[in-house]
Amino acid sequence: MKNKKYIYIGGGYDPLNLGILIPILEGYKNKEEIIIENLEFKVFQDYIKKNKIKFNNLNFLNIILTDSKKIKLNNLIFLIYDLAKNFFFYLKLLLFFSYKDKKNYKSSFAHAYWDSSIRHMNDNELRPNLILKLSALLRLIYYGIYIKELINKYPIKSVFLAHTVYKYRIALEEFKKRNIRVFSQGNFAYFQQKKKKELEWTFVNTNLLKKIKKIVSDLTIKRFWNLRFSGKLKDTDFLAAAKIKSNARSNLQENVIFLHVFKDSPFAIIDKNRIFFDYYHWIIETIKIIKESDEIWSLRIHPNSKVWGENSAVILKNIERRYFNGSFPKNIKIDNKYHSNLKVFNNMKRCVTFSGTSSIEASCYGIKPILISDNLLSHTNKSYFLKPNNIKEYKEYLIKKSSDPIFIQKKNAVKVSRFLLYLFYNVLSFKNSFSKNIRGINFFNNTPIKEKYKIFSHLMKKLEDNSLKKKFSLLGYYLKKKNLRTLDLKFINLLKTK
């Protein structure tokens, strides 16, 4: 086994993302054997055997399957030992976890523990109960033991993780600590993680950014912007927000807070300098501040929150009941699909978001957004946004008049932001190329399992096309050649090395 090398595939791959990875993995793999951690993979393996699907460089019939949830006596002993060794740390997390404790903002384990706890809350819960927290804690510890055991057993060369949040943050940190090459994925993009720096799929290094700028003309950006401005851009989240018909009974507001899906993890990257821990903490404290504002504010519910399995309106009702005596301040309005994003941005003067794409969109419209945690915009230029260093500074940003010049974006920043938005939708992700060749492959948290496998079956049949398979295997080939990320197929030549 010592002479062999392995590629580990984990982090909660669902059948769709695993199917998308296949051609990429085919281009990446040399002689390594494959280890997959995925309980749903048995169905995938049976499908391949039944349909006799062949992949040139992959042997999916002699794959090593691991089950991180399988109870082993040795691992239970290690779990008990770990609990005893770190008893007071774990007890503090369970009973005294606090948003105010700045140590939590710097701890990867605390982030993994917290988003694993809130992930399984129902819409009526605003804080995880003790059972959810204890369950999350034990799963994290056990998963960490499983990952260490795996690394000690197999000489793993490369790792492809579907997620780097929840318990999978533990895997990410352990692999990075062992100097193993780790690729994360997000929105149809793969990118290599750095050992000492947090990255997500929209972050681009300077050299690649320069290459992209050379081949993307101003006219191309203008055409893209006109397409987006007309509401015809083909993207799931964009279309969900752009096609909303305005409700005549609800007025557009100039101050807009763009909500995220509450139970989605905000920790794709851990920004240790942010002033709020999660989405619940942020919005509760924000409402407490803006009740003192002389202006009207809109809380805009994420247009796709329901397809991701959440009723944000119910969560807001519970926040209202618990923290505001059953009634939000009169200057706060809830926008639950009352207006399209196009109308909202056209009318808006101030934009507040935790770390959403709405910050880039606002910048495109000439508004300097208020951000809590880092994203593509903040990664590009520190002058393109307002990021409070403390609660006092945040309050100043919110209490100011929306007409204050501080919220006006500079013309050059507007131009760059439109370029960044073009990158987001057309360059950094291969979603467009994949969707063009394989239609009808999207599913969400609430998609029934039978429908998922129906989509997966459709995907596998499409991947039998060798020309299509070859195109996407190139992405894996370039990752093997030490590229740090994938791009859309239209821009794949930028990944070539001399």
Does residue 379 sit within a domain? yes
Strands of the 64-66 sheet, one edge to the other = 64-66, 33-37, 6-10, 156-161, 181-185, 190-192
C-alpha separations of 347 from 228, 251, 322, 366, 475 in Å? 16, 10, 32, 11, 41
CA distance 491 to 493: 6
Count of domains forming the chain: 2
Q: Which of 375, 404, 426 is the last residue of a domain?
A: 426
Query: Could you tell me the two tokens for 98?
Result: 């606090």
Which residues form the domain of 465? 6-71+143-204+429-495
Give pTM, 2 decimals. 0.90
Same domain, 382 and 488: no
Same domain, 418 and 435: no
Same domain, 334 and 399: yes
Same domain, 404 and 457: no
Same domain, 415 and 436: no
Q: Which of 398, 426, 454 is the last residue of a domain?
A: 426
Same domain, 299 and 399: yes
Same domain, 363 and 223: yes
Same domain, 330 and 444: no
Contact 477, 495 (CB under 8 A): no
**pLDDT by position in tens, the chain (length 498):** 567 889 999 998 877 788 888 889 989 988 888 888 865 556 666 665 665 555 555 655 567 778 788 888 988 999 999 999 999 999 999 999 999 999 999 999 999 999 999 999 999 999 999 999 999 999 999 999 999 999 999 999 999 999 999 999 999 999 999 999 999 999 999 999 999 888 999 999 888 999 999 999 999 999 998 888 776 665 555 444 445 555 545 678 899 999 999 989 999 999 999 999 999 999 999 999 999 999 999 999 998 888 778 899 999 999 999 999 999 999 999 988 777 778 899 999 999 999 999 999 999 999 999 999 999 999 999 999 999 999 999 999 999 999 999 999 999 999 999 999 999 999 999 988 887 777 656 655 566 666 776 777 777 777 777 677 788 889 999 999 888 999 999 999 998 765
Query: Could you tell me the two tokens for 112?
Result: 């993994």
Query: Could you tell me the two tokens for 492?
Result: 């794949």
Does residue 99 sit within a domain? no
Beta bridge partners of 158: 7, 181
Same domain, 321 and 174: no
C-alpha separations of 491 from 27, 202, 214, 445, 483 in Å? 17, 15, 12, 31, 13
For the chain, how many residues are written? 498
